[in-house]
Amino acid sequence: MISVIQKKNRKFKEINYYQNHDVSNYFLLPFRFQKINSKTEILVNEVGDFLLVPVGTAEQIILKKLDKIKDEDLYLDLISNFFISEEVIPPLLNILEARYRTKKSFLDHFTALHIFVISLRCEHTCHYCQVSRVTENKDEFDMSLYHIDEGIKIMMHSPNPHITMEFQGGEALLAFNNIKYAVLKAKEEALLYEKHMTFVICTNLAPLTDDMLPFIKEHNIMISSSLDGPAFIHNQNRHRPQRNSYEVTIEGLNKCRAILGEDNISALLTTTNLSLDYPTEIVEEYVKQGFSNIFLRPISPYGFATYNEKKNKYQTEKFLTFYKSAFEKIIDYNKKGYYIREDYATVILKKILTSFPVGYVDLQSPAGMINNVIVFNYDGKIYASDEARMLAEMNDFTFQLGILGQSTYNEIFYGKKAMEIAENWTNESLAGCSECAFQSYCGADPVLNHATQGNMYGYRPTNVFCQKNMEIIRYLFDLMEDKSIEKIFRSWITGHSE
Amino acid sequence: MKNIVTLINNELHFSLNEQLYDEDVVFKCFYWYGTDYNVEIDKKDNVFFVKISSKSETKIDHDHLLIKIKQDLIDFKLRDIVTKETKNIRELLTAKAFAHFETDENPVTEISDPIGFDPTNF
Ligand code: SF4
């Protein structure tokens, strides 16, 4: 049996404790259960603590067939981990309340991440990108200084003392002068509003020039770049007339590492149909480039959004096969002593193995959109998330919350649109999720539901988000039964090998 | 589970007694069959009539499907017991967790840490 809380030693008990056992004299506390494999099932309580137990245990517990003496170990684990109680209201309920509050404490400060789509221009023509424009027309496709100012005003109104300002594109570095303006302006305002600022530029690194680096370094700006795998995948995914996107990226990565430091540059993987055939090669490339993390992201359904159930299911199954092969390779590297973690799994593992919330917008309930992230598009339109802006590029404005310079803070964050989205953003109240054992490790994604199923509420049995998360979470628990893998997982959440 | 009829054209029909399976259990259980099947549920005089047909061309393995349904019905019945028995405590928990936080006095309790569990660790 594995428990999230390490077992303490059991105290010595008086003789009357053993004389006085009553088989069904306990009350259930809220918990959910699910099979992990043919032998094991998982019990998860309301704050995400879990127990891995033999199949059939949930039935025994729920039908009150547990024997306090015969099943003493399990019984005491269930009591101490708040699965059952000997009193209707457990005397230590306030501890459970505090734990619940902590799990949801990402809500306390509200929106942290403010994405500024600083330019829609790009010099790449990636076939999967529905958004960027190859053009010199700055007036039409760069964010105006007026909209930057208005975006900063809204950003400073966030109750959150820690704000991240992220510049995205198109290719953000094509509008570097505007980034400079925005950083300086935001820093000035941050002093007034007492905000702690973090800056991020998302870039393919192609337009990076030596004269940009001093400014980036001086203002501690982090660089988030893209690496899709070895040259034959990266260059195929990311079209440039010279077919040298990979070479330019690696050169930029090395330059940034040398000048900004290892920790200030990261790379994101965009998975495409081509990538799905090369899981091992992709992981090997990340190791070759010295990365200690890789984020195996699913193929984005935006741009190809379709309500085709069969196609969505097939794509997700293919991605899961890819994910597991790549994951095995990652585990293999760790077993051989090379520390590399998979980021999606790490987010889930943090939720599973620690009492704290994880600020990852795609796996939250209430969802990360609006609560944690807001997007200011190049044209001044405001969206609930980055994916919501992708939809808008396909003329679906369902998740547009307002316009910079016209809408007030309350209209944007607490308006009718936000309220409509809010009705669908807690998995605790969604059909299918409400009794799902993985609820506390998963999240809700009304934008994805809308894009793939035509409504924000979604239908779990054929939902790509559900299909992916249900299997990945089950897979992680299945692997965790192997103690050596559990140890690797724990090293991922602490950030260092043990 | 009664009146089981397996039809060659990829269908399965059966009935369920409401005294054994609450409406919530029946609907929550067959909700998940929407991944691969079309499900129709009718109710007459405390009996649910369930019709399941395959969404794809693949032939239904009736025996396998029946075993799965029986197991799922038990599981969803168990889940329903937990949901209903713990409804009040769950509401209390969320309400108190989100109520304006004030440091409560330590709870007065008979428990003297009988299982070696130290609440101050949290
Ligand atoms: S989306 Fe699926 S896996 Fe996630 S909580 Fe809901 S039912 Fe569970």
Give the domain ranges of chain B: 6-98
* Residue in the block written with tokens 């059909």: A431
pLDDT in tens, A456-494: 999 999 999 999 999 999 999 999 999 999 999 999 998
Token pair recorded at residue A469: 């998360």
Asked if the Cβ–Cβ distance from B115 to A76 is below 8 Å, we say: yes
**Spatial distance between the Cα atoms of A225 and A243, rounded to a whole number of angstroms:** 18
ipTM over 0.90: no
Contact B77/A at CB under 8 A: no
Least confident span in A235-239, A370-374, A395-399:
A235-239
Chain A contacts of B119, Cβ < 8 Å? Answer: 92, 95
* Residue in the block written with tokens 């010595």: A12
- Report helix, strand or coil for B88: helix
DSSP letter (8 states) at residue A144: P
Interface test with B, best of A3, A7, A8 (most B CBs within 10 A): A8
Asked if the Cβ–Cβ distance from B89 to A63 is below 8 Å, we say: no
**Spatial distance between the Cα atoms of A125 and A136, rounded to a whole number of angstroms:** 14
Do the bridges between strand A293-294 and strand A341-342 make them parallel or antiparallel, or are there none, so unpaired?
Answer: parallel
| pLDDT in the model for residue B98 | 87
pLDDT in tens, A201-225: 999 999 999 999 999 999 999 999 9
What integer is the mean pLDDT of A68-77?
A: 91
Asked if the Cβ–Cβ distance from A63 to B78 is below 8 Å, we say: yes
Contact A104/B at CB under 8 A: yes
| pLDDT in the model for residue B56 | 84
- Report helix, strand or coil for A74: helix
pLDDT in tens, A145-181: 999 999 999 999 999 999 999 999 889 999 999 999 9
What CATH superfamily is the domain A105-413?
Aldolase class I (3.20.20.70)
pLDDT band at B110 (very low <50, low <70, confident <90, very high): very low
The yes-or-no verdict on residue A372 having pLDDT over 50 is yes
pLDDT in tens, B35-91: 999 999 999 999 999 999 998 888 888 889 999 999 999 999 999 999 999 999 999
Q: For residue B72, report the distance from its CA to the centre of ligand 1, in Å.
A: 17
**Spatial distance between the Cα atoms of A140 and A365, rounded to a whole number of angstroms:** 37
Token pair recorded at residue A243: 């077919």
**Spatial distance between the Cα atoms of A474 and A373, rounded to a whole number of angstroms:** 28
Whole-structure pTM value: 0.90
Topology, domain B6-98? GMP Synthetase; Chain A, domain 3 (3.30.300)
Contact A80/B at CB under 8 A: yes
pLDDT band at A182 (very low <50, low <70, confident <90, very high): very high
Percent of chain B's residues with pLDDT above 70: 80
The yes-or-no verdict on residue A191 having pLDDT over 60 is yes
The yes-or-no verdict on residue A324 having pLDDT over 50 is yes
DSSP string, B52-73: EEESSSSPP-HHHHHHHHHHHH
User: Which alpha helices (DSSP H) does A195-240 contain, by range?
Assistant: 213-218, 231-237
CB of residue A442 inside a 6 A radius of ligand 1: yes
Q: For residue A473, report the distance from its CA to the centre of ligand 1, in Å.
A: 10
Interface test with B, best of A18, A24, A61, A92 (most B CBs within 10 A): A92
Range A252-260, long-range pairs (CB < 8 A, 24+ positions): A252/A203, A252/A205, A252/A206, A252/A208, A252/A225, A253/A205, A253/A225, A253/A227, A253/A289, A255/A208, A255/A210, A255/A213, A256/A205, A256/A208, A256/A213, A256/A223, A256/A225, A259/A213, A259/A217, A260/A213, A260/A216, A260/A217, A260/A223
pLDDT in tens, A13-68: 665 555 555 556 899 999 999 999 999 999 999 999 999 999 999 999 999 999 88
**Spatial distance between the Cα atoms of A382 and A155, rounded to a whole number of angstroms:** 12
What integer is the mean pLDDT of A98-117?
A: 92
The beta strand positions in A180-297, using DSSP E, are 196-202, 222-226, 265-268, 293-294
pLDDT band at A243 (very low <50, low <70, confident <90, very high): confident
Domain spans of chain A? 15-103, 105-413
**Spatial distance between the Cα atoms of A496 and A473, rounded to a whole number of angstroms:** 22
Name A27's bridge partners.
Answer: A85
Least confident span in A135-139, A293-297, A326-330, A461-465:
A135-139
**Spatial distance between the Cα atoms of A426 and A369, rounded to a whole number of angstroms:** 12
Counts for chain B of helices (H) and strands (E), in that order: 3, 4
| pLDDT in the model for residue B61 | 87
The yes-or-no verdict on residue A6 having pLDDT over 50 is no
Counting beta carbons within 10 angstroms of the beta carbon of residue A284, is it exposed (0 to 12), middle (13 to 18) or buried (19 or more)? middle
What integer is the mean pLDDT of A113-140?
A: 77
| pLDDT in the model for residue A309 | 76
Give, for ligand 1, the residue of A460, A465, A471, A474 to mutate: max count of ligand atoms closer than 8 Å to Cβ.
A460
Mean pLDDT, chain B, integer: 83
